[in-house]
Amino acid sequence: EKGGYDYFMLKEIAEQPKAVADTLLGRIGTDGRLTLDELRISASDLRRVDKVVIVACGTAFHAGMIAKYAIEHWTRIPCEVEVASEFRYRDPILDDRTLVIAISQSGETMDTLMALRHAREQGAKVLAICNTNGSTIPRESDAVLYTHAGPEVAVASTKAFLTQLVACYLVALYLGQVRGTKWGDEILAVIKELGDAPTHIEQVLETMEPVRELARSLADAKSVLFLGRHVGFPVAMEGALKLKELAYMHAEGFAAGELKHGPIALIEEGLPVVVVVPSPRGRSILHDKIVSNIQEIRARGARTIVIAEEGDEAVAPYADHLIRIPATSTLLQPLVSTVPLQVFACELATAKGHEVDQPRNLAKSVTVE
């Protein structure tokens, strides 16, 4: 049942191109526009939405953080994202013009379920993004967009995460399409680019041997830091979460701009720091800023592991290890930049002799609050 792989996690990482392709299937029309009638929320209701609130836990929360960048950029609707366990206890402001998006692989996460119940009680419409047909969260929501990752068995979420990202992009683009923002042309170009994502992910998977080798060489590291900016920030947090849950190591994901406000004090000789570099095209200011961050940490002794786009030469002089990913538009980069981090955590945990499919103290679906 592991399809020739030693662990479900390895199998699920390898299945990502297909999971992403399946999640896109049937959702892009021949005219290049999205067809999401399955949402069953009318265009006029979507045009009335004046705030989006995303609730989720763990890896699904990181997908939600990325969705916020996409939603605000393409739709200009304010978007908040919060871990579900905090959300309802702070008396959030919601009404019938709020669209709440609950993201959950299992559809059974109690924290997320309680958050969506609270949202519906306040009159908000709830859209579930879920991987499990007929589970509780989609059943209790007003609408659902299923991810088609197939069953995810390993406790650490991989293919479900990439498909959650796809679903989030689809929702953001669809909201933009329905509401007709000034980004119309960009939206069409991104829908087209989404279709290339499975090939891009495949390309990353084919070049992972040096990442595995690097991970094995770091089995004795005490801590690993992850830095990113913009959508690379949630990717950094996801890389750190994977390492915590699988390798039982101290790992933190930071917004690179926050370094100088504290975390830079952690940098010492030999500390591995993974940096997710935004595309040098697009918002190039982000790229320039992160190049200086890499220089700053390297000057203080960090061992820099840099994930950067093919052809980005500016980072090369400061990278002790350079991991290449295909060029994408700024907002879609997480679909490729997350993959090396999954492989890294899985290999490092295996090198430490840990059971990657079933890490200690964790359950696949957390059905208690």
**Would you please indicate which residues are annotated as catalytic (active-site) residues?**
364
Q: Whose CA is closest to 300, among 277, 275, 266?
A: 266
345 binds ligand M6R (CB under 6 A): no
356 binds ligand M6R (CB under 6 A): no
H or E segment to which residue 17 belongs: helix 16-24
Q: How far is the CB of 213 from ligand M6R (least distance, A)?
A: 24
Going residue by residue from 146 to 185, which x/- string records binding to ligand M6R, judged by CB under 6 A?
Answer: ---------xxx----------------------------
Q: Which tokens sit at 277?
A: 């570099």
The residues near 102 (Cβ < 8 Å, ≥ 6 apart) are 54, 55, 56, 84, 112, 113, 115, 116, 119, 126, 127, 128, 129, 130, 137, 141
- How are strands ordered across the β-sheet holding 143-146? 79-83, 51-56, 98-104, 125-130, 143-146
- How are strands ordered across the β-sheet holding 272-276? 250-255, 223-228, 272-276, 303-309, 321-325
Binding residue (CB under 6 A) for ligand M6R from 58, 176, 239, 280: 58
Output the CA–CA distances (angstroms, integers) from residue 282 to 287, 305, 327, in the order listed. Answer: 9, 23, 11
219 binds ligand M6R (CB under 6 A): no
The residues near 315 (Cβ < 8 Å, ≥ 6 apart) are 277, 291, 294, 306, 308, 322
98 binds ligand M6R (CB under 6 A): no
Q: How far is the CB of 252 from ligand M6R (least distance, A)?
A: 16
144 binds ligand M6R (CB under 6 A): no
Q: How far is the CB of 257 from ligand M6R (least distance, A)?
A: 25
Q: Which one-letter DSSP state was computed for residue 300?
A: T
Q: Rounded to whole angstroms, how far apart are CA atoms 201 and 119?
A: 35
Binding residue (CB under 6 A) for ligand M6R from 181, 223, 295, 365: 365
112 binds ligand M6R (CB under 6 A): yes
Binding residue (CB under 6 A) for ligand M6R from 52, 57, 127, 197: 57
Q: Which tokens sit at 99?
A: 């669209």
Q: How far apart are the first and last CA of the chain?
A: 32
Residue 49, CB half-sphere, CA atoms under 13 Å: how many?
31
State the number of binding residues for ligand M6R (CB under 6 A): 15
Cβ 339 vs Cβ 212: under 8 Å? no
Q: How far is the CB of 57 from ligand M6R (least distance, A)?
A: 4
Closest-approach residue to ligand M6R (CB): 58
Q: How far is the CB of 151 from ligand M6R (least distance, A)?
A: 12
Q: Which tokens sit at 158?
A: 């991989």
109 binds ligand M6R (CB under 6 A): yes
User: Which C-beta is closer to ligand M6R: that of 112 or that of 330?
Assistant: 112
104 binds ligand M6R (CB under 6 A): yes
Binding residue (CB under 6 A) for ligand M6R from 16, 23, 59, 293: 59
CA dihedral 120, 122, 125, 130 (to 10 degrees): -40
Q: Rounded to whole angstroms, how far apart are CA atoms 255 and 273?
A: 13
User: Which C-beta is closer to ligand M6R: that of 170 or that of 306?
Assistant: 170
Under rule CB under 6 A, which residues in 223-252 are in contact with ligand M6R? 245
User: Which C-beta is closer to ligand M6R: that of 64 or that of 326?
Assistant: 64
23 binds ligand M6R (CB under 6 A): no
Under rule CB under 6 A, which residues in 285-324 are in contact with ligand M6R? none
Q: How far is the CB of 54 from ligand M6R (least distance, A)?
A: 13
Query: Contact residues for ligand M6R (CB under 6 A)?
Result: 57-60, 104-106, 109, 112, 155-157, 245, 365-366
